[in-house]
Structure 1
Amino acid sequence: MEKSIENIWKKGFTNRDLLSIPIIENIKSLKSIYTIDKFKKMYKLNIIGLTLTAVIILLAFILGGIPFIGMYMFTLFISMAIVGLKSLNNLNQINIGESNYEFLKAFDNWLNNSNSKILLVYKIWIPLFFIGFAFALLYTNIFIPFIGETLIDKILNNENMFIVNKIPVFWFLGIIIIAIVLSYFSSSFYKIEMKDVYGNILGEIKQLLAEVEELRS
Structure 2
Amino acid sequence: MLKVKSLNVFYGSVQALHGVSFEVPVGKIVTLIGANGAGKSTVLRTVSGLNRPTAGSVQFNGEDISSLPPYLIVDKGLAHVPEGRMIFSNLSVRENLKVGSYRRKNHRALPADQDYVFSIFPHIAERLNQQAGTLSGGEQQMLAIGRAIMSGARMLMLDEPSLGIAPILVETIFQRLIELNERRGMTILLVEQNANLALQVSHLACVLESGKLALSGRSRELRENAQVRKAYLGH
Whether TM-score is above 0.5 comes out as no
Normalised to the residue count of structure 2, the TM-score between the two structures is: 0.22
Normalised to the residue count of structure 1, the TM-score between the two structures is: 0.24
Structure number with greater CO (CA < 8 Å, separation at least 6) is 2
Structure exhibiting the larger radius of gyration computed from Cα positions: 1
Higher helix proportion (structure 1 or 2): 1
